[in-house]
Structure 1
Amino acid sequence: MSESLLSAIRDNVPYSRPENPNSHSAPRVGFVGLGTMGYLMAQNLANHRASLPNEHSPLLIWNRTKQKSENLLDALGKDKIRIAQDPGQVALECDVIIVNLANDFVVKSIYEKFTEALRRVPPSQNKIFVETSTVSPEVYIYVVNLRLNPSLKIYPSLAGELDALVSSIPHSHLITCPVFGRPEVAAKSQLLIIMSGDYRSKKEVAYLLVPAIGRKVVDLGGNLEKALIFKLIGNSMILGSLEVLAEAYTLAQKSGIDADNVHDLVQEILPAPSIVGYSDKMAHDKFDGSVGGFSIDGGIKDASHIRRLTAEVNSPMPAIDVAHQHLLTARAIHQSKKQAGKAKFETLEWSGIVAGTRVAAGLDGLDSKKHEHTVQQD
């Protein structure tokens, strides 16, 4: 590894190098979840490990839809990839298990499978579970038997539940490790990596992930929920920006301003790559979530997590409340078109939030070519 690359890693990883890195064999690594982001992360990780001078075992992968695993194996070969039969095999055979899944329910079910396998065959060496999904950090509180016997029932946060599961296994640790970046950023190994949890585990994982899948690590301490909250704060900024863009594009279309002029303006005054990318999607109706980007279902999930968190800590976010409603409207429009056999896309990308503002303004939600433009007089 070149001195310049080593220097870059030192600058972007907030931990000292793990002690005696050559005194033991390279960790066996597994990856569970090959969605849009997970596939790219696993691909980059497998390629990077194969490029290192010391011998590394192939990345052990598992995905609910086996075809995605087979696609990655075909792309990289058996020297870089192995396919597990089930999640339990990944937990049993690997020292570091990275998870990237769609929602809280699926995440919890996978960790239950991990711990079920490890209770049968308890590990004798350290295992680190790396949770990169965007899951809920907040505690759920429900009113139970409101009429007959009013009481509160408190459910722990998912992070707490996962920690309890992992901690029940000897020598096992959990760190929360959400990432920031669109698929094109993930493809270039330029994700921003956020970490919370056990310090030594974070140190080991940081040098595994940078520069393999990401460019920088941000350490938020030992509380597992902090990284998840930080991820939601970041996503609230992105979602709020989407809502502002959607409203601006809708106002422009109602006022007779061409969408390309608005997109040019965005590039001039808001030149952040993610904002420019979403602006392009809204300007040209590029709402196909199956070719990259973030699905509307994922956007609604994150908006729901953000809103529950704001309620828990008494910190209103009215922009996110409005964005959540517009996401729901956009999804309802898309699902209606799918049922009628008229949908252009199988999956709607969350930039389709603009459908909510368009419909509220009397425009077609997903096809800007149908809009009647007001022509302003000179």
Structure 2
Amino acid sequence: MADKLHVPLASLGKGLVAGLPYSRPQTPGLPAQVQLGWIGLGAMGYLIARNLANYRAAHLEQQQPPLLVWNRSKEKSEKLLHELGEHKVAIAQTVVDIGTASDIIIISLSGDDVVKSVYEEIAAALQAQPPTKRKIFVETSTIYPSVAGEIDALISAIPHCHLVSSPIFGPPAMAENATLILALSGDYRSKKEVAYTLVPAIGRRVLDLGGNVEKAPTFKLIGNSLVLGSLELIAEAYTIAEKSGIGQDLVYEYIKELVPAPLWISYGDKMLHNKFDGTVGFAIDGGVKDASHIRRLTAEHNSPMPAIDTAHHHLLTARALHAAQARTGTTSFPVLDWSALIAGTRVAAGLDAFDGGKHSGPVPEHE
């Protein structure tokens, strides 16, 4: 039910995990020892995979096999193995190895095309040699909803295979602290298995979006529209404060006093202090992709979101300015965080794109 967010009370029964909308998975289900596979160790994926491996080693009563991981750049896999040890992590040589060896395969990748290519590669191997026991694919990437439908058609055609859409809400800090929010849609029994596998190992709460695998990715885009719209609003407020002589710092104090949401405080600080390093945040390419997906969704449903249109323009402006700096060797960051969209509002107002501190007072109109 997409209109309801189920959150049971922990006191309803011994062993229930707060934040799960499901009873414990029925038996027979997955085997007692479950092989988990993880594909994609990006900025978020690395932190989440680390938490998952640590939790399973520390909290499950029966010893579990190491988390099997794969990443396009093997250095990330080797880093995780070195950090956690062989009893918690093992490295797969290919995505096919993950798909064939694992009971639950969790995928965290950057975009629609790479997601589809990974599923197609795994599906081809499983079609050639169909599995004899249950497999659950957990798609956590931010993808367009129809892509989830395409993947579901591909996976569900293979015996014993199921897809659960499970986009994840939260910045890297929440990934680090295992306080993420998960939205699930798909096969009910599989959702139960996934929920108890991932909460509280990587997150604190599950939102049930029903059986249609396209619902959770849709909800993810709606959620991201709130984040992106907030970034645009903060950027515009900072810019007019700088132009009028009030100063960005006072707007940030206002945010902390009257709008003390973690998201506003975190991104307000990034914009105030020009912390636009996308290697430790959410890279601007991902922001452009998400904004494009949201705009496509609004067009399909005839539901305009002009704030997202504006934010998309400012993301493109910031990325173009960064590319120009990169060509001349003057950029301060190898990759921009999507909070750098403030560069678009600053430039439109005649301010410096990536250094708000250059304008500490009113800016005369002739400048």
Aligned-partner SS, 2:347: helix
Give the superposition deviation at 1:10: 3.3
Give the superposition deviation at 1:26: 2.2
Percent identity over the alignment is 58
Give the superposition deviation at 1:103: 0.3
Q: Which amino acid aligns with 1:127?
A: K
Q: Which residue of 2 aligns with 1:250?
A: 239
Give the superposition deviation at 1:366: 0.5
Q: Distance in 1 between matches of 2:285 and 2:40?
A: 17
Pairing 1:301–2:308 present: no
Aligned-partner SS, 1:174: strand
Pairing 1:210–2:199 present: yes
Which residue, 106, 113, 116 being the options, matches 1:108? Answer: 116
Pairing 1:16–2:23 present: yes
Q: Which residue of 1 aligns with 2:6?
A: none
Range 340-349 or range 112-121, more displaced: 112-121
Q: Which residue of 1 aligns with 2:301?
A: 313
Q: Distance in 2 between matches of 1:159 and 1:370?
A: 46
Aligned-partner SS, 1:314: coil
Q: Which residue of 2 aligns with 1:98?
A: 106
Instruction: Please say if residues 181 and 192 of structure 1, whose CA atoms lie closer than 8 Å, have aligned partners that are also in contact.
Output: yes
Pairing 1:273–2:281 present: no
Instruction: Please say if residues 9 and 211 of structure 1, whose CA atoms lie closer than 8 Å, have aligned partners that are also in contact.
Output: no
Give the paired residue count: 354
1:78-97 pair list within 5 angstroms: 78-97=86-105
Give the superposition deviation at 1:168: 2.0
Instruction: Give ranges in structure 1 of 5+ residues lacking alignment.
Output: 138-156
Pairing 1:63–2:35 present: no
CA RMSD of aligned residues (A): 1.8
Q: Which residue of 1 aligns with 2:351?
A: 363
Aligned-partner SS, 1:345: coil
Aligned-partner SS, 1:304: helix
Aligned-partner SS, 1:70: helix
Instruction: Please say if residues 155 and 161 of structure 2, whose CA atoms lie closer than 8 Å, have aligned partners that are also in contact.
Output: yes
Q: Distance in 2 between matches of 1:335 and 1:35?
A: 22
CA distances 1:67-110 after superposition (whole Å, capped 9, x unpaired): 00000000000000000000000000000000000000010010
Give the superposition deviation at 1:314: 0.4
Q: Which residue of 2 aligns with 1:282?
A: 271
Give the superposition deviation at 1:19: 2.3
Q: Which residue of 1 aligns with 2:7?
A: none
Q: Distance in 1 between matches of 2:136 and 2:17?
A: 22
Q: Which residue of 2 aligns with 1:153?
A: none
Which residue, 131, 136, 156 being the options, matches 2:139? Answer: 131
Q: Distance in 1 between matches of 2:319 and 2:30?
A: 53
Q: Which residue of 2 aligns with 1:166?
A: 155
Which residue, 209, 212, 216 being the options, matches 1:220? Answer: 209
TM-score relative to the length of structure 2: 0.93
Pairing 1:344–2:332 present: yes
Instruction: Report the CA distance shift for 1:100/1:262 in structure 2 as closer, same or farther (over 3 A).
Output: same
Aligned-partner SS, 2:93: coil
Q: Which residue of 2 aligns with 1:27?
A: 34
Pairing 1:332–2:320 present: yes
Aligned-partner SS, 2:136: strand
Range 79-88 or range 16-25, more displaced: 16-25
Aligned-partner SS, 1:347: coil
Q: Which amino acid aligns with 1:335?
A: A
Q: Distance in 1 between matches of 2:88 and 2:46?
A: 14
Instruction: Report the CA distance shift for 1:103/1:257 in structure 2 as closer, same or farther (over 3 A).
Output: same
Range 212-221 or range 22-31, more displaced: 22-31
Q: Distance in 1 between matches of 2:306 and 2:133?
A: 48
Q: Distance in 2 between matches of 1:42 and 1:4?
A: 29
Give the superposition deviation at 1:262: 1.4
Give the superposition deviation at 1:368: 1.6
Pairing 1:117–2:106 present: no
Give the superposition deviation at 1:21: 8.1
Q: Distance in 2 between matches of 1:240 and 1:73?
A: 38
Q: Distance in 1 between matches of 2:20 and 2:77?
A: 30
Give the superposition deviation at 1:259: 2.0
Pairing 1:188–2:196 present: no
Which residue, 46, 58, 65 being the options, matches 2:53? Answer: 46
Aligned-partner SS, 2:292: helix
Instruction: Please say if residues 210 and 216 of structure 1, whose CA atoms lie closer than 8 Å, have aligned partners that are also in contact.
Output: yes
Pairing 1:234–2:231 present: no
Q: Distance in 2 between matches of 1:270 and 1:308?
A: 30
Give the superposition deviation at 1:340: 0.8
TM-score relative to the length of structure 1: 0.90
